Amino acid sequence: MEVSVGQKLQHEFTLTSVSDIASSSSSSSPASVVSLSSPVVARFSADSGVVELRFGPDSEASDAVTVNIRTAKLFKLGPVQSVCIAEGSEITKEESYSRGFNIWFSNIEESRAFHVAFEQWKTETVQGSCLPNGAVSTSKSKFDDKIEPSSAKMYFHYYGQLLHQQNMLQDYVRTGTYYAAVIENRADFAGRIVVDVGAGSGILSLFAAQAGAKHVYAVEASEMAEYARKLIEGNPSLGQRITVIKGKVEEVLLPVKADIMISEPMGTLLVNERMLESYVIARNRFLVPNGKMFPTIGRIHMAPFSDEYLFVEIANKALFWQQQNYYGVDLTPLHGQAFHGYFSQPVVDAFDPRLLVAPAMHHVIDFTQVKEEDLFEIDIPLKFVASVGTRVHGLACWFDVLFDGSTVQRWLTTAPGAPTTHWYQLRCVLSQPLYVMAGQEITGHLHMIAHSAQSYTIYLTLSTKMWGPGAEQGGLFQSSACKVDLKEPYYRMSQPQPYPLVQDQQPHQLLQPQDINIQSDDLEDTELLQQQTHSSGAHLQ
């Protein structure tokens, strides 16, 4: 039973008395026997992330007896008498023998109300909404239903390593923007309960604590949670207000609702790794109504591009399969599949914004409103007007996110031409380029379907309409499409190409290895080598 924000569970009862049930097989000493007379307070709580039942003279008594609801059972012995059986307590670290308590109530109504509350709190525990820090539900979560185990294992293994956390921390555009967004909006954090979703190293939790958060719950499912604890313990002035909870956001519970959530759920093209869905689930489970989310919205930007260098580079990879005598074997039967295989990889790199041939458009995802199922399939109609006459080689994509603070609104962008981030930009390359004239309309669709490997299959279609007189009746002039797997990108981390201001837009044949002649003497002459490089670039434009 998931309790809504407005629903309250009764948590405190006044009992007539509570006493131990003496077991003949137990070696309990008299000192360990509990006998509490009126008034006795029984209090349910989840202050530490574990649902507990405490018996004592008052709800805050230091000598109160604690029972873990998760393993306890309650039986009715009479109208005003019940017995509570608790297994070996994980909390008090006592012997593993079961322990029983006789409970007497003042009237039947009090007894009935106590039993109802006990079952409600126990149901909370069983369904995973009041689990101890780091514990997971025994039932299958939403995450397990939609993600294949092998992908999840690799994902959490990757983010459980310090070297990958360092890679993100050293992205100073990313980390610096998060720091500025938090510190410049202290009013949103000071005295507030904060949840850090997918906390990683815990750096965002520490930022929130620096901004004056009352308490931060850092939820991290990978082994990085242990490193986060160590880092936070090493900063005691901040760490005393941070609790690290090891587990998936779909499964763990917080003792209180949060006023603000902070997370870094963005992947390549914003949606890769499907952590946005976990961000939305955490919003639904942990955030108070109208609570803040950092980041607040995300935008996917798209524009057609022209890049002869990239097209030739990808196409030439398949030249290997044109060999007719590879150790006596003809490889050409596989050339077609290899050619299309290379174009099925999205290209991740930083490119020159001058390669864009039309103003960009964008698709907005409002993290405060979007539903989880809205992210399973994303369809974006495309419409551009070409600024120049050129060959269109595909669609370039990048994203930005907004931190909508009460004091300062700050954007984190991965746009081409902006300071480079570890996300870079992404390009889907067509194996059949399109020809456009300046002013010609380019239409199409970017259709993304989520799959169980924590990514998306992307279907891109671009078309151009007839241009000039009679264009309205002419319909489509040419169309090209591709299918790429966002999970399998081509990370193109080579040196930037010497792109000129204006590229020659004429079609070119693929470069053949025998067409490139480099003399050994030329390599010793730097000036001549540079001239040849510029000359080659001119032919490839």
Exposed, middle or buried by CB within 10 Å (0-12, 13-18, 19+), for 152? Answer: middle
Q: What is the DSSP code (8-state) at residue 223? A: T
Q: What is the DSSP code (8-state) at residue 298? A: E
Digit-coded pLDDT (tens) for 236-275: 999 999 999 999 999 898 889 999 999 999 999 999 999 9
Out of 251, 264, 308, 313, pick the active-site residue. 264
Contact between 350 and 305 (Cβ < 8 Å): no
C-beta neighbour count of 440 within 10 angstroms: 21
264 is catalytic: yes
CATH number at 299-491? 2.70.160.11
What is the 3-state secondary structure of 31-81? HHCCEECCCEEEEEECCCCCCEEEEECCCCCCCCEEEECCCCEEEEEECCE
Q: How far is CA 281 from the centre of its chain?
A: 11
List the 476-485 sheet strands across, edge first. Answer: 377-385, 441-451, 455-465, 476-485
Pairing verdict, β 390-404 and 297-305? antiparallel
What is the pLDDT, as a whole number, of residue 138?
Answer: 39
Out of 52, 251, 273, 313, pick the active-site residue. 273
472 is catalytic: no
Q: Which CATH number fits domain 11-22+34-128: 1.10.3720.10, 3.40.50.300, 2.40.128.20, 2.30.29.30?
A: 2.30.29.30
- In 3D space, the residue among 178, 172, 170 whose CA is nearest the CA of residue 199 turns out to be 178
- In 3D space, the residue among 187, 397, 174 whose CA is nearest the CA of residue 303 turns out to be 397
Q: Where are the alpha helices (DSSP H) in 127-274?
A: 142-146, 149-159, 162-169, 172-183, 186-189, 203-210, 224-233, 236-239
Neighbouring residues of 210: CB distance < 8 A, sequence distance ≥ 6: 182, 183, 238
What is the pLDDT, as a whole number, of residue 130?
Answer: 43
Any idea which residue has 């259709």 for tokens? 447
Contact between 310 and 317 (Cβ < 8 Å): no
What is the pLDDT, as a whole number, of residue 473?
Answer: 61
Report the CATH fold assignment for 149-264.
Rossmann fold (3.40.50)
What is the pLDDT, as a whole number, of residue 469?
Answer: 61
Domain ranges of the chain: 11-22+34-128, 149-264, 299-491
Residue ranges of the chain whose pLDDT lies below 50: 1-7, 23-33, 89-96, 126-140, 495-541
